């Protein structure tokens, strides 16, 4: 028996569509297969292009009003250049990072932060946002870099969670049970950006060897897209027969 095609490739999906109804003949059956194949190929491309265009337009809408009209290409060309605002934003952020890396830049940033910290209302918002961004984009951080399973919402029912940091001492001292408590974020399907955060004993969390990206795909697809890491570890079917060997 031939090995099934790798489901990660478009060719495998086309193979599945063609073999779904192998006995379907005639022009209608062929047209149906051609239509489904076209949808499988064009659908992801169209959605990717639409999201990319939306992001570029959003960046242009935010950045272009801040740029002097004499600097805009459409002031000299008969058409606008999509993505110019995004390009300027990326260059500006890179320049900001470069300036911050030297002594003078750090001094200016610290002076600006000191001014914000003395401003009511704005101070708390800025500190919270800075801590979140520093944690998420830190290459040395461990937040949401490990995936686990917890027994939720009921006994014998398991949910995917993203493992965060251990509970701070101020919280751990007031939590009942073991001292080794860890924070977990349980995302909701199909939108993994929403969910619940809670603390659990570390022994109640089972770590799984998949990446956060693979877990997010699993959640968004409601289990239809299985993690590649686990799929590669599954034992291959016997190439000589499709039935299991009988017991002696």
131 falls within a domain: no
Count of positions (residues) in the chain:
248
176 falls within a domain: yes
Same domain, 165 and 83: no
36 falls within a domain: yes
Q: Distance (Å, rounded) from C-alpha 64 to C-alpha 77?
A: 16
Q: Which residues pair with 200 in a beta bridge?
A: 182
| H or E element, residue 241 | none
138 falls within a domain: no
Residue whose token pair is 């911050």: 100
What pLDDT shows up at residue 230?
A: 55
Q: What is the pLDDT along the chain (248 residues), one digit of tens a residue?
A: 444 445 455 555 555 655 555 555 677 878 888 888 888 888 888 988 998 999 899 988 888 888 888 888 888 888 888 888 889 888 988 888 887 777 777 777 778 777 877 777 777 777 777 776 666 665 555 456 788 999 888 888 888 899 888 888 888 878 887 678 888 888 888 877 788 888 888 888 988 888 888 888 888 888 777 776 555 554 454 444 344 444 44
Q: What pTM was computed for the model?
A: 0.54
What pLDDT shows up at residue 241?
A: 39
Same domain, 175 and 97: no
Give the phi and the psi of residue 63 in degrees, each rounded to 5.
-90, -40
Q: Which residues pair with 206 in a beta bridge?
A: 149
130 falls within a domain: no
Half-sphere exposure of 72 (CA within 13 A, CB side): 19
Same domain, 23 and 93: yes
Half-sphere exposure of 241 (CA within 13 A, CB side): 4
107 falls within a domain: no
Full residue range of the structural domain in which residue 228 is found: 146-233
Same domain, 90 and 150: no
| H or E element, residue 161 | strand 158-166
Crossing angle of the two packed helices 103-117 and 84-100, in degrees rounded to 10: 100
Question: What total of structural domains would you count in the chain?
Answer: 2
Using alpha carbons only, give the angle 237, 239, 244 rounded to the nearest 5 degrees: 55
Same domain, 78 and 164: no
Residue whose token pair is 């049970």: 177
3-state secondary structure of 89: helix
CB 1 within 8 A of CB 240: yes
């Amino acid at each position: 028996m031939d090995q099934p095609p790798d489901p990660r490739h478009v060719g495998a999906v086309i193979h599945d569509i063609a073999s779904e109804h192998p006995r379907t003949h005639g022009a209608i059956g062929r047209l149906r297969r051609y239509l489904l194949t076209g949808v499988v190929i064009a659908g992801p491309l169209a959605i990717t292009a639409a999201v990319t265009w939306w992001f570029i337009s959003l960046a242009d809408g935010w950045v272009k009003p801040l740029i002097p009209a004499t600097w805009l290409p459409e002031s000299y060309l008969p058409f606008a250049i999509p993505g110019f605002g995004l390009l300027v934003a990326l260059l500006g952020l890179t320049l900001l990072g470069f300036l911050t890396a030297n002594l003078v830049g750090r001094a200016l940033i610290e002076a600006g932060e000191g001014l914000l910290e003395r401003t009511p209302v704005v101070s708390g918002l800025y500190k919270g946002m800075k801590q979140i961004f520093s944690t998420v984009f830190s290459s040395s951080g461990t937040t949401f870099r490990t995936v686990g399973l917890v027994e939720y919402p009921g006994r014998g029912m398991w949910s995917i969670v993203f493992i965060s940091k251990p509970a701070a001492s101020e919280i751990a001292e007031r939590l009942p049970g073991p001292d080794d408590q860890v924070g977990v974020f349980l995302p909701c399907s199909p939108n993994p950006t929403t969910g619940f955060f809670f603390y659990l004993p570390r022994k109640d969390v089972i770590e799984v060897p998949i990446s956060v990206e693979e877990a997010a795909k699993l959640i968004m697809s409601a289990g239809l897209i299985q993690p590649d890491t686990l799929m590669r570890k599954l034992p291959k079917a016997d190439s000589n027969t499709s039935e299991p060997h009988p017991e002696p």
